[in-house]
Amino acid sequence: MATIKVPAISSMATIKVPATVPSPAEDCDQLRKAFQGWGTNERLIISILAHRTADQRRAIRATYAETYGEELLKSLEDEISGDFERAVLLWTLDPADRDAQLANEALRGWNPSNRVLIEIACTRNSSELFDVRRAYHLRYKRSLEEDVAKHTTGDFRKLLVPLVSSYRYEGIEVSGKLVKSEAKMLHEKITEKAYSHEELIRIITTRSKAQLIATINHYKNEYGKPINKDLKSDHKNEFLAALRAIIRCTFCPERYLEKVIRLAIKGVGTDENSLTRIISTRAEVDMKAIEAAYYKRNSVPLKQAIKGDTSGDYKAMLTALLGHDDA
């Protein structure tokens, strides 16, 4: 059997990829078998796709289309359904294409409490966000910025257009002079309740993450309270909630994403869309950090919480992406 050496993946990823994997052609052959006969072999689909990197999944999709004259995603849509289908399809997409689709869904169903655009813009690095914008343009024949401007209004438009358009500097250098002056500026505008002031928006949407984190830390030291405490003057104000989300996503993304998961599985019913989105977008990136944050906050392993709140093939897919195949 032909095998391929596995490229390095993030040390914080939870997916488990064998030391050597079958060739894309062999994986395609097995997937085709999973689709044939009486019923679909969902566990075979999981055993392949949940254990391949983004590059390997891309090669599988290309080989499948060339071999069978049909897109793998289309075959999957025809064979599986429900939450399991969404989890598999999102996972199988290229990361940039997946984010473009998630952004488009968020915009088409836009409401002020939706944080998906903030999540994408603030937890991806500049190159990744650029790739999302390019994928969006190719997929929808419009720019992401154009659609954000179309579907949002007022202060949210003022905030979100520069947020998704920004190409933040990724270096570690920090200007102490800017830290002091911009912390002061933020404090002045928040005190004045000028939350949508152009300078406040400019600082939080364009400064490098290192610079913004230093400014947020200085704000707390200088004015005695975390900036997000000062942005809680009105708990029902969705614009303030959006500002807090940007700061949390920038300052400690794993804690922000842990909260999304916690709220998705808390109480009666499950928010499968949020749960699927976080696991499918972070399993190959930093899911171990999110798992650690979840355990610290809830004293329950995330795998256990998900197994208790989901079922069937959907549960098996999510737990496989978390590095467990004993669902």
Q: How far apart are the first and last CA of the chain?
A: 29
190 is in an annotated binding site: no
So what's the pLDDT on residue 233?
80
So what's the pLDDT on residue 4?
52
Please choose, from the candidates 91, 120, 88, 123, the residue with its C-alpha nearest in 3D space to the C-alpha of residue 105: 120
Q: Which option is the CATH number for 173-234: 1.25.40.10, 3.40.190.10, 1.10.220.10, 3.30.465.10?
A: 1.10.220.10
If you count them, how many residues does the chain have? 327
Average pLDDT value for residue range 173-181: 97
Measured CA distances, 246 to 5, 33, 99, 291 (Å): 39, 45, 17, 21
Average pLDDT value for residue range 304-320: 96
176 is in an annotated binding site: no
Top CATH class, 254-321: mainly alpha
DSSP structural state of residue 8? P
So what's the pLDDT on residue 1?
47
Domain ranges of the chain: 3-80, 173-234, 254-321
171 is in an annotated binding site: no
128 is in an annotated binding site: no
35 is in an annotated binding site: yes
84 is in an annotated binding site: no
Predicted structure pTM score: 0.94
pLDDT of 79 over the 90 cut: yes
Q: How far apart are CA 170 and CA 184, in angstroms?
A: 23
Give the domain 3-80 fold: Annexin V; domain 1 (1.10.220)
State residue 21 phi and psi, 5-degree precision.
-125, 160
309 is in an annotated binding site: yes
Q: What does pLDDT average to over the chain?
A: 94
Average pLDDT value for residue range 292-314: 96
120 is in an annotated binding site: no
DSSP structural state of residue 169? -
